[in-house]
Amino acid sequence: MCFGKKRNDSLPECCTASLHLPKYYFISSGTHILASPIEYLKGVGPLRADLLKKELNIFTFGDLLEYFPFRHIDRTKVNMVSDLRPDTDYAQVAGVLLSAEVIGQKAGRRLVARLKDKTGILELTWFQGVNWVQKSLEPGRSYLVWGRVGFFNGNPQIVHPELELLVPDQPLAKNFLEPVYSTTEKLKAKGLGGRQIGKLTQVLWAQLKEKDFEENLPADILERLQLTGRFKSLQQIHFPQSEEEYQAAVKRIKFEELFIAQLRMNLLRSERHRFSKGVIFEKVGDYFNDCYKNHLPFELTGAQKRVLREIRNDTATGKQMNRLLQGDVGSGKTIVAVLTMLLAVDNGYQACLMAPTEILAQQHYQGIGALLEKLGVPVRLLTGSVKSAERKKTLAALASGELKIILGTHALIEDAVQFQNLGMVIIDEQHRFGVEQRARLWKKAEIPPHVLVMTATPIPRTLAMTAYGDLDYSVIDELPPGRQPITTVHRLESQRSKVMDFIRAEIDKGRQVYIIFPLIEESDKLDYENLMKGYENVKAYFPEPRYWISMVHGRQPAEQKELNMKRFVEHDTQIMVSTTVIEVGVNVPNASVMVIESTEKFGLSQLHQLRGRVGRGAEKSYCILISGSRLGNDARERINIMTSTNNGFEIAEKDLQLRGPGEIEGTRQSGALNFRLASIVQDRDLLEIAGNLAADLLEKDPDMVSAENLRLKKFLQYRKGPVQWSKIA
């Protein structure tokens, strides 16, 4: 009986985020009716207005109009109690109220009412507003109730139903599709349930006229895609006459959201290409060539070479480069970073590489430092734990320009760190860095340095288009030759001793092993205890003095962490028991087994990232996912995906589908994903079309000066835009 996009009753993220102002809609001149404060709407008033603002971020008439229903109910249809099934979802039932009694004590106190139609009895339950609701109910009279159907002890029930008195002789059928809106318990308590919000919207709509809504999409696009006009689409998303009308409105509004977002991203990128100022790297010089010809321990893959060419092209133009480099775990991003930094040094500029953790920065320093030393390029490390005398030296050398390359952690963005002429910023494993942190590094030079952002794991294409669409994009889509695929298996906790036997055999062949436990939050005692128990267990399995175990976790002091890590890197220890602090970037090619404990607690991309710690050398590698025998569907699905593919791009897509874009690390703070209706998972085709049309439009009219495009540009300015990654990367 209902249709529309099925969503949870809880609010979509976009409604709860505190994004507001500047104006969301298109104002032509003067004060637009849609800018009127919500308290001025009939039926709202100050009290409800306050709640609408706090609970739903609805401040103005326009906000209410853009608060879309999550479904419609066909008021002409009433369900019979006997037709209700566990999978019924929402239902509308008409019947006589038999009783309404308060039962239970304290937290269990609730109001239970029974509604009877000619086929059976439906139970209605309230946990909140018990007294108030009971007073308003009149057993013996007929009611129309609506809500989500659940089953309790085999009987159908609705918790916190919406309900109204059925007046005899008044026809039930109102002959329209009634919109239903997400709401909150607090709003419900003040009489603003999902249906009442619809009544407000109706009051509002009655005051609006077509001329209040200027069309913002170009006519040829409307025609090509057969899209409903702006005014009509807003009417029909709330009050459709048929499902077809509703779907047409949804398509139009989704397209508008995606198109506007793509236009903005493309505009930012094209403006940077046209107008930004960047330092010019004129030549490929001696350091680069010496490294490339004489010091590379391997031949670069085709993909690595291509990316270097792209970077080389960008940095020679006099415009600022802002590039996102995607590559799967182990695809060899580090060497690309090194050669890119050398390009800067060859042209008289300084370069820096920022890593998200101390361990990773250390490791870069050991690996990259050794290579740069052979070339005679001065390089230093700056992290939180560098001692002050050493630190002073480093800062002075940076400021004088004597130091060419610096590697480090977020310690690099402190104000005390001043460069003489910073020309290239590389950010490794970018998802660990917050937006602000990147912005601060970027401000360290007058002409902005070129920026290369490297991802830890691939980002799905649709997400890259929306969240990073203003950056140029490179991808290493090829792994270095000779890698054997990692064999991934799932084992139960009860099979642990077999897993340990396997580990022992591998170690006896000279390999090393990681055993990973879920992250330790400062507050999470349980995780900590599990890790300690796990460590003791491993020790018990390997009592002989020839086995050595390292342990690394977030509660250790930095020095201890480093020492333990170092011992593993240097093969002093064969087993590394750790939390996810080693998740990104760590490179120990001799490690061939990755054991993950409590696998169900990890996300998909995290699992892939962890697995990427093995399979880095020539040895055959294994990833063993351990879990209990009782698994939820999602966890099972994640494990299935992990055991069936090694491809990070595929996994990223699956991860996006499973978790939704809001959960993907690093994009959470990006306004780019705050769509009201569109979804980059479900609407990828529409997104592709929107992206192409936006690019076309800018190619034909880069400054958006035609009358139609000017209007569109104005609309862009009113809309709150996404984070500009290129300004903050």
What is the C-alpha separation between 18 and 13, in angstroms, rounded?
10
Task: Report yes or no: 438 and 723 within 8 Å, Cβ to Cβ.
Answer: no
What is the C-alpha separation between 403 and 420, in angstroms, rounded?
9
What is the C-alpha separation between 116 and 94, in angstroms, rounded?
8
Total residues at the site for ligand ADP (CB under 6 A)?
Answer: 16
Contact call for residue 648 and ligand ADP (CB under 6 A): no
Contact code string over 6-45 relative to ligand ADP, x by CB under 6 A: ----------------------------------------
What is the C-alpha separation between 358 and 413, in angstroms, rounded?
14
Dihedral angle sign, alpha carbons of residues 693, 699, 700, 706: positive
Nearer to Mg ion, 331 or 530 (CB): 331
Nearer to Mg ion, 187 or 405 (CB): 405
Cis peptide before 481, with omega less than 30 degrees from 0? no
Nearer to Mg ion, 62 or 585 (CB): 585
Q: Which of 335, 344, 673, 677 binds ligand ADP (CB under 6 A)?
A: 335
272 interacts with, out of ligand ADP, Mg ion, none, CB within 5 to 8 A per kind: none
Residue least distant from Mg ion (Cβ): 585
Residue 308 CB, shortest distance to Mg ion, in Å, is 16
Nearer to ligand ADP, 217 or 459 (CB): 459
Nearer to ligand ADP, 322 or 363 (CB): 363
Stretch that binds Mg ion, among 234-242, 263-271, 309-317, 582-590 (CB under 5 A): 582-590
Nearer to ligand ADP, 221 or 424 (CB): 424
Total residue length of the chain? 729
Contact code string over 463-502 relative to ligand ADP, x by CB under 6 A: -----------------x----------------------
What is the C-alpha separation between 408 and 60, in angstroms, rounded?
47
**CA distances for 350 relative to 344, 386, 441, angstroms:** 6, 20, 13
What is the C-alpha separation between 117 and 94, in angstroms, rounded?
7
Count of beta carbons in the 10 Å neighbourhood of residue 126: 21
Report the SS3 class of residue 674. coil
What is the C-alpha separation between 288 and 271, in angstroms, rounded?
30
Based on C-alpha coordinates, what's the Rg of the chain? 30
Residue 685 CB, shortest distance to ligand ADP, in Å, is 31
In sequence order, what are the residues at sequence separation of 6 or more whose Cβ sits closer than 8 angstroms to the Cβ of residue 527? 517, 518, 519, 520, 521, 579
Which residue matches tokens 């109204």? 164
Count of beta carbons in the 10 Å neighbourhood of residue 374: 12
589 interacts with, out of Mg ion, ligand ADP, none, CB within 5 to 8 A per kind: ligand ADP
* Pairing state between β 110-117 and 350-354: unpaired
Task: Report yes or no: 499 and 626 within 8 Å, Cβ to Cβ.
Answer: yes
298 interacts with, out of Mg ion, ligand ADP, none, CB within 5 to 8 A per kind: ligand ADP
Residue least distant from ligand ADP (Cβ): 332
What is the C-alpha separation between 199 and 162, in angstroms, rounded?
14
- Within 292-331, the residues that bind ligand ADP by CB under 6 A are 298, 300-301, 304, 327, 329-331
Nearer to ligand ADP, 368 or 596 (CB): 368
- The single-letter DSSP state of residue 127 is S
Residue 658 CB, shortest distance to ligand ADP, in Å, is 23
Termini Cα distance of the chain: 48
Report the SS3 class of residue 246. helix
661 interacts with, out of ligand ADP, Mg ion, none, CB within 5 to 8 A per kind: none
What is the token pair recorded at 206? 């009655």
Contact call for residue 615 and Mg ion (CB under 5 A): no
Nearer to Mg ion, 95 or 615 (CB): 615
Nearer to ligand ADP, 280 or 300 (CB): 300
Residue 485 CB, shortest distance to Mg ion, in Å, is 19
Contact code string over 49-88 relative to ligand ADP, x by CB under 6 A: ----------------------------------------
Stretch that binds Mg ion, among 504-512, 536-544, 584-592, 705-713 (CB under 5 A): 584-592
- Report the interhelical angle of 648-659 vs 633-644 (nearest 10°): 170
Contact call for residue 333 and ligand ADP (CB under 6 A): yes
What is the C-alpha separation between 281 and 315, in angstroms, rounded?
6
In sequence order, what are the residues at sequence separation of 6 or more whose Cβ sits closer than 8 angstroms to the Cβ of residue 187? 51, 52, 55, 56, 193, 197
Stretch that binds Mg ion, among 119-127, 203-211, 281-289, 578-586 (CB under 5 A): 578-586
What is the token pair recorded at 314? 């960008």
- The single-letter DSSP state of residue 37 is B
Contact call for residue 585 and Mg ion (CB under 5 A): yes
* Helical spans, DSSP H, in 104-193: 130-136, 185-189
**CA distances for 499 relative to 235, 537, 541, angstroms:** 62, 13, 11
Stretch that binds Mg ion, among 13-21, 27-35, 583-591, 642-650 (CB under 5 A): 583-591
Contact code string over 561-600 relative to ligand ADP, x by CB under 6 A: --------------------------x-x-----------
What is the C-alpha separation between 484 and 482, in angstroms, rounded?
6
Nearer to Mg ion, 449 or 585 (CB): 585
561 interacts with, out of ligand ADP, Mg ion, none, CB within 5 to 8 A per kind: none
Nearer to ligand ADP, 586 or 687 (CB): 586
329 interacts with, out of Mg ion, ligand ADP, none, CB within 5 to 8 A per kind: ligand ADP
Contact call for residue 383 and ligand ADP (CB under 6 A): no
Total residues at the site for Mg ion (CB under 5 A)?
Answer: 1
Residue 410 CB, shortest distance to ligand ADP, in Å, is 19
- The single-letter DSSP state of residue 60 is B
Tell me the CB-side half-sphere exposure of residue 452, using CA atoms within 13 A. Answer: 31
Q: Which of 364, 438, 616, 719 binds ligand ADP (CB under 6 A)?
A: 616
Residue 296 CB, shortest distance to ligand ADP, in Å, is 8
Residue 695, amino acid: A
Q: Report the interface residues with ligand ADP, using CB under 6 A.
A: 298, 300-301, 304, 327, 329-335, 480, 587, 589, 616
Q: Report the interface residues with Mg ion, using CB under 5 A.
A: 585
